[in-house]
Amino acid sequence: MNDIITLMKRRLKEVKRSGKKNPTGRIYLPKELVGTYVSYITYQELQQLERDIRRYRTIMNFMRHLLDSKNHTKMFSVISETWNPITGCTHYCIYCWARRLALTKLKNSKKYKDGFLPKLHPEEFKKKFKGGMVFVTDMGDLFSNGVPDEWIIRVIEHIKKFPNTYFLFLTKNPIRYLDFIDRFPPNAILGATIETNRDELYLNHSPRISLAPLPSLRYKVMKELKWDMKFVSIEPILDFDLEEFVEWIREINPFLVYVGYDNYNWKLPEPPLSKTLKLIRKISEFTLVVKKTIRPAWNESIINYKNKSSKS
C-alpha cells in the first residue's frame, strides 16, 4: 500500500510540475503500479484516488485505535472522556438531555448557575490529553450561533497540542465548520446530527423539534465538507424516506454513522423498527454503523393494534 501511495504521489507531482495540459486528459501510470492491464487514468481520477487513499489511511488509523482500546466490543464506549470547555447552546431541541440536566440537577453548579446559554470555561484549557477519543462539548453545541469565533479558535488551538488524541465534534450547525476548516488538526472528527431527511417534521411538529438549521441544510453542508473523518449521528432518529435518506448519507460519505432512538420518552415522530433496520442494513453496505438504542417506535404497538382491530 505504501509503495502505491509513493508512486501515485510521485506521478502526481510530475504532472503538476510539468504544468502542461495533457490534450487527452490522460495520465500514464508507472508500469510497476499497473502491470499490463491499465496504462492511464484521468487527472481528476488520479486526484480522487489520492484523496481516497488518504481517507483510507486515516480510517485505518482510527480502526487501529478502536481495536487497541480496552472497550472495543462496544464502539461508542471508545470515547474515553468528554471535555466541556464551552457549554450551552441556542438550538432549544425539545429532546435535549443536556439542557434538562443543566437546568435541574446541575443548576447550582459553577458551570450552569447562569443557565444553558453558551459559556466559556477558561479553567478547562489547563486540561491535558493522553490519547484515546475525547468528545468535545457533549453539554452543548460548540458551533451553535451565539458561540463567538474566538472561543472556537481557542478550543481548536488547544486540541492541536495533542496530536495523539482523537477529538470528536458534533453539531447541528455544521455550516460553521467551514469557517474553521483550515485550522482543524487531522485528528479532529467532524460530525453532524441529522435525525431525518424530512424538514417538515421539524416545521410541523408542535412544539418545533429544534431551532437548529433544518436537516436538509446540514446534509448539504456535510456533503460539501472536505474532511477525511466525517461522521453522522442519526439520533434520536425521526421518521424518514428510506431511499432519499440512504442517498444523503452516501453522498456525505461519513466513515462512521450512529443510529439510535430517543432514550427519554419524548414521543417523537419515530419510524417503525422494521424501517430503521432497513436503513441500517443499507448504510452498512458502504460505511461503519454503530447501533445505539434500537427498539420499536413508541407508538408502534398502538398502530399495530389499531390496524389489527380495523381488519377484524
* Contacts with ligand SF4, residue ranges (CB under 6 A): 89, 91-93, 96, 98-99, 140-141, 144, 172, 210, 212
What's the closest the beta carbon of residue 137 comes to ligand SF4, in angstroms? 8
The per-residue b/e assignment along 220-240, b for 16 or more CB within 10 angstroms, e otherwise, is bbbeebebbbbbbbbbbbbbb
What CA–CA distance (Å, rounded) separates 294 from 279?
Answer: 12
Residue with Cβ nearer ligand SF4 (94 or 153): 94
Q: Which of 128, 126, 191, 131 is nearest to 163 (CA)?
A: 131
What's the closest the beta carbon of residue 218 comes to ligand SF4, in angstroms? 11
What's the closest the beta carbon of residue 262 comes to ligand SF4, in angstroms? 11
What CA–CA distance (Å, rounded) separates 244 from 208?
Answer: 23
Q: What is the largest CA-CA distance in the chain?
A: 77
What CA–CA distance (Å, rounded) separates 232 from 172?
Answer: 10
Residue with Cβ nearer ligand SF4 (72 or 100): 100
What's the closest the beta carbon of residue 197 comes to ligand SF4, in angstroms? 18
What's the closest the beta carbon of residue 2 comes to ligand SF4, in angstroms? 41
Residue with Cβ nearer ligand SF4 (93 or 252): 93
Residue with Cβ nearer ligand SF4 (91 or 198): 91
What's the closest the beta carbon of residue 153 comes to ligand SF4, in angstroms? 20
Residue with Cβ nearer ligand SF4 (210 or 276): 210
Residue with Cβ nearer ligand SF4 (99 or 230): 99
Q: Which of 167, 85, 83, 82 is nearest to 123 (CA)?
A: 85
Which residues 6+ apart lie within 8 Å of 19 measured at CB?
A: none
Helices 242-252/273-284 angle, 10° precision: 30
Task: Answer yes or no: are the C-beta atoms of 4 and 46 closer than 8 Å.
Answer: no
Cell numbers standing for residue 26 = 490522460
What's the closest the beta carbon of residue 144 comes to ligand SF4, in angstroms? 6
Task: Answer yes or no: are the C-beta atoms of 176 and 239 closer than 8 Å.
Answer: no
Residue with Cβ nearer ligand SF4 (145 or 299): 145
What CA–CA distance (Å, rounded) separates 131 from 147?
Answer: 27
